[in-house]
Amino acid sequence: MRVMIGMSGGVDSSVAAALLHEQGHEVVGVTMRLWGGESDTGCCSVSDVDDARRVAQQIGIEHVVFNFSDEFDEHVVQPYVDAHQKGITPNPCIECNRHLKFERLAERADELGFDAVATGHHARIGAHENGRRRLERGADLAKDQSYVLHMITAEGLEHTSFPIGHMTKDEVREHAARLGLRTAGKPDSQDVCFISRADGREHFLGNRIPLRTARVVDRDGTQVGEVPSVEMVTLGQRRGLGTPGGGPVRYVIGVDAASDEPTVIVGDADDLLVSSQIVHSMTWVDQAFEGEALAQTSAHGDPRPCQVTSTGEREVQIDWGLRSTRIAPGQSVVLYDPTNTWVIGGGIAQRSPL
Amino acid sequence: MTSTYLDHAATTSMYPEVFDAMRPWQETNFANPSGSHRAARLARQAVDEAREVVASCLGVNAGDVVFTGGGTESDNSAISGSVRSRGGIAVCSAVEHHAVLDPVLHHGGVTVAVTQDGQVDIDNLRHVLESLAASGQHIAVVSVMAVNNEVGAINDISEVAAVVREVAPDAWLHTDAVQAACWVELSQITRHVDMLSLSAHKFGGPKGVGLMVVSNGATPEPLLLGGGQERGRRSGTIDVAGAVGAATALHKTASERDAVSQRVLAFRNELLDALTQIEGVVETVSREHTVPGIAHICLNDLESEALLFMLDAADVYASAASACASGAMESSHVLSALGVPDDLRRGALRLSLGHTTTSGDIDRAVKEITRSIGLLRERRAARKQRV
């Protein structure tokens, strides 16, 4: 097979590239230049490209750099900023996978005559009994990334490869060390890759949109505090709300950033619980689904049992067996089969009424 | 491997006699020309002679020639050195190489528009200089490239000089002639300017060696301070082999310029004629005012990166815009200044020819480019049908 492997300059994609090459595939490494601005947190820095290129040289494969920074800005950065402005909590890694890795890069690979795109994600590709491909959790459950890959369809999976999905992180690092790859001991990337760790999210957003102070109110409308920027507030948050100390802990249960007078609504722990959740913009790996499933609502959150019912075009309602914590609007909700093995589909949490 | 190298504007191969001329100055007589013994004097003589050869090729005094560490250093010295030396503002064309553009912008300078064929807009130059003068701003330096590195457009430096001397008589005039060396009689340029930059590896010399002409009383502040070599204008141990290599290459280039230009021009036109037969291929600028070595085309339906990948796989080496530190293609500020629409800009391809280019290279390039464009379009259509 001719495989194009996305190489971020990290250890996972380094080893993935090496494995594909060992298996005898014709492999070309690609580093995507996504973020044009400054960053100290992860992908796209010149030193990461250097690492990817050097690893490719060591393995003995070609390496190229593709500049997708315009598309990244359009599909990831700008929506990230817009979401914060609306009081929504976005997941930029998912949008990057959706629009860049498994759309833009896949399209480029296809155009250049490659059979598949590979990445160093911790996830596996299996098959249903009828032969249809399915996306499965990675062998290392602590590192599993199937959540951020849920948008890849069964057709897409036929042209996708996750060469390290069956390995634990320790095995990946051991393999890298055995090959003498310079990325063997490189720490995992964390945080949002386009936001500088030194300056932080508030600084990043403040450079792009006006940050507005908001009143913090109880459910009955009584003001109990104030926050300097409503754009920074997330559902479930309980610190930094400017509320007086003592008394029961108050949690953010709602954010109204849309109005001219933005408000943050707080309540007690019980107010955070809901019995159902609407999920929109659903994508299905194979086909639309209703019934019992497990829902995971953050990258490393525990999957919770739920009942899935269709409520419209690409929209479902999930009913929790027991009342469950509200999901921040904008977060991705990914459905797994009841054995917690494979991905059914996923979408984006809608704002739940108070 | 049969490879077709059409990236001579990025760098070209060194003439064998250049390598031969350089070799003794690294191997047997490696002395530092600033020393006082016989070996040093021999090295000094080689540098002095090299400087004279360069001066004669450029039509300037030997004392005006400064050896530097490359074209970028020469450009930076001219711009930053001028601003630091005398204060005031720097002005350059909007399509300068980043080695000029970035220092100009760094010092808060302004840019001048270009025509759709990539030549500096003389009326706009006059307007910009007049506006600056009217607002009481002192103009430290004006820099207009002799030949553009992406599209190959040639500027009439005498025309530029006439405007600068009239409107801003105190300004020093610099030209980046890095892409001109192979194709343009350089003495026709030096006579109009106060400073000029060249890069040896662009004309068959070694990488890491630049030339700078500093004349007419211009005194840009040196970037590098230290041992005071090059009359204090560029400190650092003189690279004897580099100086000898640059001089040998420049002499060779000058003596063969007419013949090479004529030959390459025919190849370039043949290449453009063939490529523009392909549907959707447009010549980015009019051929009339470009150097023979550059063919620049755009396609409105394909992307440079994809096309270059295909050509690379077929061992045809070309380029698009300049690459950034990570190796990624950057969107071209040159094409943007020319007013080339977005969709065409994304499909830019620069094929640059040089003294080693053969007619076989042109045939192969045409064949592979045609094949690659066809394949990309076919696969795209197939994908569209599937999705």
Q: What is the DSSP string of A25-65?
A: -EEEEEEEE---S--SSSTT-HHHHHHHHHHHHHHT-EEEE
pLDDT at position A190: 72
Distance CA A175, CA A137 (A): 21
Can you state the angle between helices A169-178 and A11-22, rounded to 10 degrees?
70
Selected for mutation to probe chain A from B302, B308, B311, B326 (highest A CB count within 10 Å) is B326
From B312, B330, B379, residue closest to A111, measured CB to CB: B379
Full DSSP string of B161-214 = HHHHHHH-TTSEEEEE-TTTTTTS-THHHHTT-SEEEEEGGGGTS-TT-EEEEE
pLDDT tens profile B319-344: 997 666 667 777 899 999 999 999 99
pTM for this model (two decimals): 0.92
- The three-point CA angle B292-B298-B300 to 5° equals 170
Contact check, Cβ <8 Å, B305/A66? yes
Beta strands in B48-154 (DSSP E): 65-68, 89-93, 110-112, 139-143
Residue B258, exposed/middle/buried by CB under 10 A (0-12, 13-18, 19+)? Answer: exposed
Among all chains, which residue has been given the structure tokens 């997941």?
A: A91
CB distance A1 to A26 below 8 Å: yes
Residue B97: count of CB within 10 angstroms of its CB: 22
Residues whose CB falls within 8 Å of the CB of residue A128, separated by 6 or more in sequence, listed in order: A134, A286
Residue B152, exposed/middle/buried by CB under 10 A (0-12, 13-18, 19+)? Answer: buried
Distance from A265 to chain B by nearest Cα, in Å? 45
CB distance B288 to B301 below 8 Å: no
- Could you tell me what percent of chain B has a pLDDT over 90? 95
The residues of B annotated with a catalytic role in the active site are: 324
pLDDT tens profile A290-304: 999 999 999 989 999
Contacts of A38 in chain B (CB under 8 A): none
pLDDT at position A161: 98
Q: Which of A256-270, B96-110, B275-289, B365-379 has the lowest mean pLDDT?
A: A256-270
Say whether B129 sits in a helix, a strand or coil.
helix
DSSP assigned state of B114: B
> Residue B192 corresponds to which tokens in the numbers above?
């109009």
pLDDT tens profile B8-46: 999 999 999 999 999 999 999 999 999 999 999 999 999
Q: Which of A64-78, A190-204, B221-235 has the lowest mean pLDDT?
A: A190-204
Cα–Cα distances (Å) from B102 to B72, B152, B155, B322, in that order, read 11, 20, 20, 14
From B309, B325, B328, residue closest to A67, measured CB to CB: B328
Contacts of A70 in chain B (CB under 8 A): 331
Average pLDDT, chain B: 96
Q: Which helix (H) or strand (E) holds B299?
A: strand B294-299
Average pLDDT, chain A: 93
Say whether B111 sits in a helix, a strand or coil.
strand
Averaged over A250-263, what is the pLDDT? 91
Distance from B25 to chain A by nearest Cα, in Å? 34
The residues of A annotated with a catalytic role in the active site are: 96, 193
Contacts of B375 in chain A (CB under 8 A): 113
Contact check, Cβ <8 Å, B328/A112? no
- Which residue on chain A is closest to B324 by alpha carbon? A46
pLDDT at position A244: 80
